[in-house]
Amino acid sequence: MSKLSHFDDSGEPRMVDVGGKALTHRTARAHAFVRMSPAVLEALPNNPKGNPLAIARVAGILAAKRTADLIPLCHSLPLSHADVALTLEPTGVRVIASASTTAQTGVEMEALTAASVAALTIYDMTKALDKRIEIQDIYLLEKTGGKSGDFKR
């Protein structure tokens, strides 16, 4: 296993210096699933707080833009794109978040943050209907660009 770059030689956390790296186009897509009962799914269009899916999509996009404020050692990145797609399924809502940039470091954390916050927003807007809603399976689907190359789950 390679050495973790977010720690210095004495084991203290540090922000990685990416100043010497070339700008390259980078993308990432991340996944989350919000498991809920059929009754909650059926009630989504009539939610008194508004459309949970529309609000979750916007929340995820905003979260991608604020990732460096939430994850201590992340770099602030000029995102060229961020989006969240939400799909209703028989057992819940599938969340696919994407982010892209041309920068010196990748956008995996931005995509993961977008997926996570979109899922949390769905929970927040539906929790009054059922406290047993679960947020599951948050993971990176794929990423492109950078020194480590492409990854696809």
- 3-state SS, one letter per residue, for the chain: CCCCCCECCCCCECCCCCCCCCCEEEEEEEEEEEECCHHHHHHHHHCCCCCHHHHHHHHHHHHHHCHHHHCCCCCCCCEEEEEEEEEEECCEEEEEEEEEEEECCCCHHHHHHHHHHHHHHHHHHHCCCCCCCEEEEEEEEEEECCCCCCEEC
Please confirm, yes or no, whether 17 is among the known catalytic residues: no
Catalytic residue among 17, 69, 124, 130: 124
Active-site annotation, residues: 124
